[in-house]
Amino acid sequence: MVYAKVAGGVLFLLLLACFEAIPLPPAAIANDVRPHGKRVYPPAPPPPPSTEECTRAQKVEILCECEGYIKIHNTIRYPTNNSLCCNAVRNVPNLDIFCIYDLLTSREKNMYHPRRFKYGLRNFCSL
Ligand X SMILES: *[C@@H]1O[C@H](CO)[C@@H](O)[C@H](O)[C@H]1NC(C)=O
123 binds ligand X (CB under 6 A): no
| Closest CB to ligand X among residues 87, 108 | 87
CB of 45 vs ligand X, minimal distance in Å: 39
Q: How many residues bind ligand X (CB under 6 A)?
A: 3
Query: Which of 28, 29, 7, 10 minimizes the C-alpha distance to 18?
Result: 10
| Closest CB to ligand X among residues 94, 126 | 126
How many angstroms separate the CA atoms of 127 and 121, rounded? 9
| Closest CB to ligand X among residues 14, 84 | 84
**Region 66-105 residues binding ligand X, contact defined as CB under 6 A:** 81-82
Query: Which of 122, 113, 104 minimizes the C-alpha distance to 75?
Result: 113
126 binds ligand X (CB under 6 A): yes
CB of 127 vs ligand X, minimal distance in Å: 8
How many angstroms separate the CA atoms of 117 and 68, rounded? 11
CB of 119 vs ligand X, minimal distance in Å: 17
Chain residues binding ligand X by CB under 6 A are 81-82, 126
